[in-house]
Amino acid sequence: MERAEYQKLYELEDSYWWFVGRRQLVTTLIQKWMPNGQVGPILDVGCGTGGNLEFLAHQGCETGIDLSPLALDYARRRRLPRLAQASGLALPYMNNTFGLVTAFDLLYHRWVTNDDTVVRECRRVLRPGGWLLVMDATLPGLWSHHDEVFYARQRYTLDEIRRMIERSGFTPHKLSYANTLLFPLVLAVRCLARWFPSLSETEMQPLPGWLNLMLTRVLDLEAVWLRRGTFPIGTSGVCLAQKPAHDIAQR
């Protein structure tokens, strides 16, 4: 992304409905699958401007990497203590180090030249029995100018995400589409943007407080449902998977 987009992301990440809703979903999954918050050290791969990493600090000892020095410049403003410039294709950490690795809207990025390699690297640095949490953009038909601005390479189907996770030796425990209740709205905006390109600029823009709160509450409802069930369609896919307890990575 360009510096202007990082600046916008940094300013919106703490309060914008999209990011607040995603953090609520993460909280729900951690509470369900990792009782008592016993997560262990956390690595956020592709931490961006640090909003998610700052949130994850409440769950455990956190570390973040990003390939972009611009993103890390903004993340450092949050006074996060463990940041590094690195690629998910070659994580600079020892085997069997972390209890949880997260990757939010990372695998679809054009800098990720091989998403299987990234997932295998995540498995390597995870402790036996550790967890991988992936959220990424889905439904190729939703491709828009927004994806191009964020340097996207592709959008996935949920089955593609599942196969990628399983190829790397993980056991999926939760696999679902997400951002479902607002899917009709997103679909409408992106279809209309093909005829009226200026509509693309309405994504990731500050909203009136009441509207931002309403959209946040919608995603709160999704998080409650995803604790027990799944959704058949949505603009994102979420996968919580576990490294086998007997799997001790070696190089």
Give the pLDDT confidence score for residue 246 in this predicted structure. Answer: 83
Q: What angle do CA 88, 55, 26 make, to 5 degrees?
A: 75
Residue 247 domain-assigned (yes or no): no
Confidence of residue 38 (pLDDT cuts 50, 70, 90): low
Helix or strand or coil: residue 118?
helix
CA-to-CA distance for 188 and 204, rounded, in angstroms? 16
CB of 98 closer than 8 Å to CB of 82 = no
Kindly state the average pLDDT of the residues 174-195.
87
Give the pLDDT confidence score for residue 145 in this predicted structure. Answer: 78
Query: Which residue in 112, 97, 30 sits closest to 66, CA to CA?
Result: 112
Supply the CATH number for residue 77's domain.
3.40.50.150
Give the pLDDT confidence score for residue 11 in this predicted structure. Answer: 93
- The tokens for 247 are 């799997």
| Tokens 């999954």 found at | 29
Confidence of residue 81 (pLDDT cuts 50, 70, 90): confident
Tell whether the model's pLDDT for residue 108 goes beyond 60.
yes
Per the structure, the complete domain to which residue 236 belongs is given by 3-242
Tell me the whole-structure pTM to 2 decimals.
Answer: 0.92
Residue 250 domain-assigned (yes or no): no
Confidence of residue 31 (pLDDT cuts 50, 70, 90): confident
Residue 118 domain-assigned (yes or no): yes
Residue 251 domain-assigned (yes or no): no
Kindly state the average pLDDT of the residues 122-131.
96
CB of 157 closer than 8 Å to CB of 139 = yes
Rg over alpha carbons for the chain, rounded to the nearest Å, is 17
Tell whether the model's pLDDT for residue 199 goes beyond 60.
no
Tell whether the model's pLDDT for residue 200 goes beyond 60.
no
Kindly state the average pLDDT of the residues 26-48.
86
Residue 248 domain-assigned (yes or no): no
CB of 145 closer than 8 Å to CB of 193 = yes
What is the pLDDT of the chain when averaged over all its residues? 90
Tell whether the model's pLDDT for residue 220 goes beyond 90.
yes
Confidence of residue 10 (pLDDT cuts 50, 70, 90): very high
Question: Quick one: what percent of the chain has pLDDT higher than 90?
Answer: 69
Tell whether the model's pLDDT for residue 175 goes beyond 90.
yes
Tell me which of 7-21, 31-45, 208-222 is least confident: 31-45
- The tokens for 240 are 């919580």
Question: Quick one: what percent of the chain has pLDDT higher than 70?
Answer: 93
Number of folded domains that form the chain: 1
Query: What count of Cα atoms within 13 Å lies in the side-chain half-sphere of residue 228?
Result: 3
Kindly state the average pLDDT of the residues 204-219.
92
- The tokens for 16 are 């914008």
Tell whether the model's pLDDT for residue 224 goes beyond 90.
yes
- 152-169 as b/e, with b when 16 or more CB fall inside 10 Å? bebbbebebbbebbeebe
Residue 212 domain-assigned (yes or no): yes
Tell whether the model's pLDDT for residue 2 goes beyond 80.
no
**Parallel/antiparallel/unpaired status of strands 236-242 and 126-137:** antiparallel
Strands (E), the chain: 42-45, 62-66, 83-85, 98-104, 126-137, 171-178, 236-242
Distances (CA, A) of 102 to 147, 199, 203: 21, 31, 24
Residue 45 domain-assigned (yes or no): yes
Query: What string of DSSP letters covers 83-115?
Result: EEE--TTS--S-TT-EEEEEEES-TTBTT-S-H
- The tokens for 20 are 């607040």
Residue 232 domain-assigned (yes or no): yes
Kindly state the average pLDDT of the residues 187-197.
75
